[in-house]
Copies of this chain bind each other. A is one copy, B any other.
Amino acid sequence: MPSIKALIFDVFGTLVDWRTGIAREARGILSPLGIELDWPTFADAWRSQYQPAMDQVRSGRLPFSKLDVLHRRNLEIVLMDFGLGDVAEPARAQLNLAWHRLDAWPDVAPGLARLRRKYRLAPCSNANISLMIDLARRNGLVWDAILGAEIARDYKPKPAVYLSSAAALDCDPAEVMMVAAHGSDLAAAASVGLRTAFIARPGEHGPGKGETGAGVPVDLSAASVLDLADQLAVIFPSPSSPEVD
């Protein structure tokens, strides 16, 4: 494998535990209103609207709208589905920002700190920039830049999202490694020339409900971000410099 200069990361599922966080936030906001639900099921239902909403943008039926806007459209649907159409505006707005208040898996902050000594790092997520800023501040993540859908004005797995991230980093696609817990994301990145690393998050959708393997060809497969850092340190003992040369 030729040397890489940068790593870009999927975020929901790969770096942060969205299901536990959304369930916690929904409970914290809705249960004081007297609402009782199966909170993880509510989180799953909200997340299930994610791909269909982005498909509207990917297909050109909807102009690019950032993920906070799509999350809000999806929230309206899910509240109706759960018979919660009378939840009032302040709670809806507060709930929509639940996606800004998710916790990273425990290996993420130390793993990224190690990788950043050697590589440029950026999220390449479908989330918007302000959402990435809030997750970074909450979890102590230091990025070199925030890349992804809001920069590309389109959603993964569209090629433009991966390619605009590489271009912003002044890298050829083969100099960038896409890191994700989802084989489909990695297959799309590989199809436009990026290197790929799978990180297993077997509990992403609840205990025993996550991808345990990429299911597609990848360059590396790791159990955590720290494990990825270990593997890269073996493959590239003399790392590329973080400084432009």
Contacts and interface: CB of A to CB of B under 8 A. Distances in A.
Copy number in this complex? 2
Interface in A115-157: 120, 128-130, 132-134, 136-138, 142, 144-147, 150-151
A27 interface: no
Contacts of A136: 144
A175 B83 CA distance: 37
A129 B169 CA distance: 7
A150 B165 CA distance: 12
A19 interface: no
Given A145-B129, A145-B145, A243 B169 contact: no
A242 B168 CA distance: 26
A244 B170 contact: no
Interface string A12-43: 00000000000000000000000000000000
A145 B132 contact: yes
Contacts of A120: 133
B129 A168 contact: yes
Given A151-B151, A170-B68, A144 B133 contact: yes
A100 interface: yes
A145 B146 contact: yes
Contact of A137 (B133, B137, B243): B243
Interface in A176-232: none
Contact of A134 (B130, B168, B243): B243
Interface of A: 68, 97, 100-101, 120, 128-130, 132-134, 136-138, 142, 144-147, 150-151, 168-170, 242-244
26 contacts: A68-B170, A97-B244, A101-B243, A101-B244, A128-B168, A128-B170, A129-B147, A129-B168, A130-B168, A130-B169, A130-B244, A132-B145, A133-B169, A134-B243, A134-B244, A136-B144, A137-B144, A137-B242, A137-B243, A138-B243, A142-B142, A144-B146, A145-B145, A146-B146, A150-B168, A151-B151
